[in-house]
Amino acid sequence: MIVSWNWLKDYVVLDIEPEELARRLMMAGLNHESTKTVDDDLAIDLEVTSNRPDCLGHLGVAREAAVLCGHPLRLPPAAPRESQPAAAELTRVAIECPELCPRYIARVIRGVRIGPSPDWLVGRLRTLGISSINNVVDVTNYVLMECGQPLHVFDLTKLTGRQILVREARTGERLEAIDHKTYELSPGMCVIADEQSPVAVGGVMGGAASEVSAATTEILLEAAQFDPASVRATARRLNLHSDSSYRFERGVDPEGVDWASRRAAQWIQELAGGHEQVHVAAGSVDVGRQPAPRAPVVLRFDQLRRILGIEIDPAEVCRILQALGNTERSVVFPARVDYRGSSPAGQAADGGAVEVVPPSWRADLTREIDLIEEVARIHGYDAIPEDVSVPMATSARSIEDWVLAEVRQVLTAAGFDEALTVSVVEEDWSAAFSPWTDAPPLVEATGDS
């Protein structure tokens, strides 16, 4: 992920040198690959691990920088000036494959003038190695690199029936993408279609037939969620990869989809003709599943000492978790230390604990150990002494393990073959033959949980 030094400063005060910021980010988990000068800016290349898709945008990196530097994060506005008629009166959206596309948001913007982007926008994209196309397409790339949510724009007049149908591809369907190569589609792939044919490969790339041109005056702005596994499989099968597919494969912030849509609509309104000429239809067509509430996670303060081997002030622990976007639901501080006044009666047992709800953009925070890791990396791994004492228990093989190992060795030496079968099978297969255990089988969880 390449980030612009000047762009980051829009969201957080950076009163340190770029080298120091790169070092702090590296120590917190974003490995620094390189820094290059591009015009009057710096392009900082960071390695983002697959569990941190929130850092595949400038806002995510700025949030990390804000916590590490002790400054607040400035979230930009996302409020286009809307007018009648409503978007629902100008287009329709239907999802036939919710397992491939859980949510789709469409906004309609009329009166746009397609033209070159302003120099500041061209410069910011150039720092990231992205070429300027036109003011509308550049806005979608800008918002993508700002918050990590991919977007796409269709020329609404080129959509047959002025509608969007999200469905599986059909056998024999083909699509000419915006790279002007034709791709053979197959069932299982998610496509965005109009009344007649596919106009985009969902989560991967748009089609040439509906792309924005110099004659475009009315657009449909897409912001959606796609199943990561489906996007990954489709991109590999078509050998078609993009900045959008890279992010969808890792998962996007479910609560950030609408924000990105509004943010892009605001920029298009400002840069493609101004508020007087460009009309953003009121509201949006929002189809599919709404974001589910996150489950709370409890962090016991004494677990920090057990896992990390050091004491960290519980008040500092709470500060770090809240600065990272976690919402604090309740906290009980240890009775032996008064950090925020006396603890509530009857709640001062053990070493105290804090309960938080992780933010929507951090799908990787689900367990206590995840919060411990967050505290450790922000507090600083370098603050943990090398000779710190962490209690450990040695493991030993059980008598059953020893016996089974001996039996296997004797049987294989006698000429028998050992078969290792797949772990996940149909339930009736497991019920038909299971001589190695009397325990009930583990059942795969279903539903939205």
Q: How far apart are CA 222 and CA 200, in angstroms?
A: 11
Q: Which of 305-309, 342-346, 393-397, 414-418 has the lowest mean pLDDT?
A: 342-346
Averaged pLDDT for residues 8-12: 97
Parallel, antiparallel, or unpaired for β 92-95 and 163-168? parallel
Give me the residue label for tokens 């298009």: 268
**Burial profile 177-202: b = 16 or more Cβ within 10 angstroms, e = fewer:** bbeeeebebeeebbbbbbeeebbbbb
Given a cut of 60, is residue 248 above it in pLDDT?
yes
Averaged pLDDT for residues 259-274: 97
Give me the residue label for tokens 């008598």: 399
Q: How far apart are CA 301 and CA 332, in angstroms?
A: 9
Nearest to 155 by CA among 214, 97, 204: 214
Q: How far apart are CA 277 and CA 295, in angstroms?
A: 45
Band (446; pLDDT cuts 50, 70, 90):
low
CB 69 within 8 A of CB 14: yes
- Residue 150 has φ and ψ, to the nearest 5°, of -65, 145
Over the chain, what is the mean pLDDT? 92
Q: Which of 32-46, 307-321, 381-395 has the lowest mean pLDDT?
A: 381-395
Instruction: Let me know if the fold of 2-69 is the same as that of 297-383.
Output: yes
Instruction: Name residues whose C-beta falls within 8 Å of residue 396's C-beta, 6 or more positions apart in sequence.
Output: none
Helix intervals (H) in 241-394 = 243-248, 257-271, 301-308, 314-323, 368-379
**Burial profile 149-167: b = 16 or more Cβ within 10 angstroms, e = fewer:** bbbbbbbbebbeebbbbbb
CB 115 within 8 A of CB 314: no
* Side chain identity, residue 246: Y
Given a cut of 60, is residue 349 above it in pLDDT?
no
Nearest to 374 by CA among 147, 51, 71, 74: 51
Where does 2-69 sit in CATH, by number? 3.30.56.10
- Strand order from edge to edge, sheet including 92-95: 92-95, 163-168, 190-193, 198-201, 205-206
Query: What CATH topology corresponds to 297-383?
Result: Phenylalanyl-tRNA Synthetase; Chain B, domain 1 (3.30.56)
Given a cut of 50, is residue 348 above it in pLDDT?
no
Band (149; pLDDT cuts 50, 70, 90):
very high
* Side chain identity, residue 410: V
Given a cut of 60, is residue 343 above it in pLDDT?
no
CB 324 within 8 A of CB 271: no
Bridge partners of 356, per DSSP, are: 297, 328
Q: How far apart are CA 38 and CA 128, in angstroms?
A: 9
Nearest to 207 by CA among 173, 246, 172: 173
CB 56 within 8 A of CB 246: yes
The pLDDT of residue 442: 82
Residues for the chain: how many in total?
A: 449
Given a cut of 90, is residue 341 above it in pLDDT?
no
Q: Indicate the class that CATH gives domain 82-288.
A: alpha beta
Averaged pLDDT for residues 221-232: 97
- Give pTM, 2 decimals: 0.84
Share of the chain above pLDDT 90, in %: 83
CA 333, distance to chain mean position in Å, is 33
Band (393; pLDDT cuts 50, 70, 90):
confident
Cis (ω within 30 of 0) for the bond into 228?
Answer: no
Averaged pLDDT for residues 80-87: 96
Given a cut of 70, is residue 337 above it in pLDDT?
no
Domain boundaries, the chain: 2-69, 82-288, 297-383
The H or E element spanning position 233 is: helix 228-238
Neighbours of 227 (CB within 10 A): 21
Q: How far apart are CA 285 and CA 91, in angstroms?
A: 8
The pLDDT of residue 435: 72
The pLDDT of residue 350: 60
Pair of tokens at residue 317: 């622990």
Q: How far apart are CA 86 and CA 286, in angstroms?
A: 12
The pLDDT of residue 338: 46
Given a cut of 60, is residue 406 above it in pLDDT?
yes
| 289 or 386, which is more confident | 289
CB 266 within 8 A of CB 146: no
Helix pair angle (135-147, 119-127), 10° resolution: 50
Parallel, antiparallel, or unpaired for β 82-86 and 279-282? parallel
Pair of tokens at residue 92: 């329709």
The pLDDT of residue 445: 61
- Residue 281 has φ and ψ, to the nearest 5°, of -60, 145
Averaged pLDDT for residues 213-229: 97
